[in-house]
Amino acid sequence: MTPIKNCIVNEDTTKNPIWLMRQAGRYLPEFREIRKENQDFIKLCLNSNLASEITLQPIKRFGFDGAVIFSDILMLPYGLGQKVEFKKDFGPKLGEIDLENIESLDEINFTKKVHKVYEAISKTSIDSIMNNKDMIGFVGAPWTILVYMINKSSPKKGLSDKFYKDKILISRLLVIIEKFLKLHIKNQVEAGAKVIQIFDSWAGLLEDKLSEYIYNPTFNIVEYVKKLGVPVICFPRGIKDYKNFCQIVKPDAVNIDYGVDPKKIVKEIKIPVQGGLDPQILLTNKEKLKQEVEKYLNIFKDHPYIFNLGHGILPETKIEMVEDLIKIVRNFK
């Protein structure tokens, strides 16, 4: 086996490690069966037995090198006491912010509220199928968590001018978010996570103020993860300058999105690279899939590389295409 962590720390590997973002999810018929009986997404994330079972479904079916815990980045605001729900055909919807209550929350009560996530990691990491596979935990980056908490939904149409109106609220929230992200990560690592990925899903919204909202807050989280002794992967989706991000934030590896030129990335970035493939390619045909997958494998042939996507796998993806994807990656020389 070639665990993901070996690639991240630049150890020589004998095959290309592969896992997919959202690999435990809606494209799997076995997941859809569980989801039918469990309509409340947050409750499902907090059911440690089912969350562990879901996490292991793609490992059992495909043999990926990493199992990413079935959870959500919004467990952080949920743990802070902000109402979080997922509405069909809409996405996440968050409630009002009670800053006084959030600021008075202690670490014990936060942990109690989301401890089932850590139980799920523990259950998954000791499963026999996880031998020589990486248990991946994750969090949202400070900026992305801030966006969700203030915007109260996915900012698909961008942020309004009102977003920055209350600068005191923003500065106080960022302090709280950083504190509890560190706790959330620590709890995941203690439960058995061997790798942490930081998802900055809305990094692409920022044209300026990158140091204030992305570079500095994420650097603080990255440094904290390193002190825990586990590798950390950053995914600043949509950011325009990956080179600058890596030089400032200093993650162990960086996940690239499908909007960047991988040839530019391989020239500019020295650390291990993960991802890049457009998830839409999995909705095309086998010939196109082979062409695009081998493009990334060839570009990163002499660079530490973890095969993944440039965003999460899409719900309409066919099982056969995932099977073919894995064969192409495994058989690539």
Q: Which residues lie closer than 8 Å to 243 by C-beta, 6 or more apart?
A: 268, 269
Residue with tokens 């139980």: 119
Alpha-carbon distance of 131 to 129, in angstroms, equals 6
The two tokens of residue 210 are 């990158």
Alpha-carbon distance of 138 to 73, in angstroms, equals 7
User: Quick check: helix, strand or coil at residue 177?
Assistant: helix
Which pLDDT score, from 0 to 100, does residue 5 have?
76
Alpha-carbon distance of 16 to 27, in angstroms, equals 23
**Low-confidence stretches of the chain (pLDDT beneath 50):** 1
Alpha-carbon distance of 85 to 106, in angstroms, equals 23
Which pLDDT score, from 0 to 100, does residue 257 have?
97
CA of 314: how far to CAs of 21, 23, 173, in Å?
Answer: 10, 9, 32
Neighbours of 89 (CB within 10 A): 4
Q: Which residues lie closer than 8 Å to 217 by C-beta, 6 or more apart?
A: 141, 142, 143, 174, 177, 178
Is residue 60 within 8 Å of residue 129, measured between CB atoms?
A: yes
Name beta bridge partners: 87: 91
pLDDT tens, residue by residue, 208-223? 899 999 999 999 999 9
Which pLDDT score, from 0 to 100, does residue 11 have?
64
Is residue 54 within 8 Å of residue 24, measured between CB atoms?
A: yes
Q: What is the CA radius of gyration of the chain?
A: 19
Could you give the domains of the chain?
A: 4-331 (3.20.20.210)
Which pLDDT score, from 0 to 100, does residue 1 have?
41
Which pLDDT score, from 0 to 100, does residue 2 have?
58
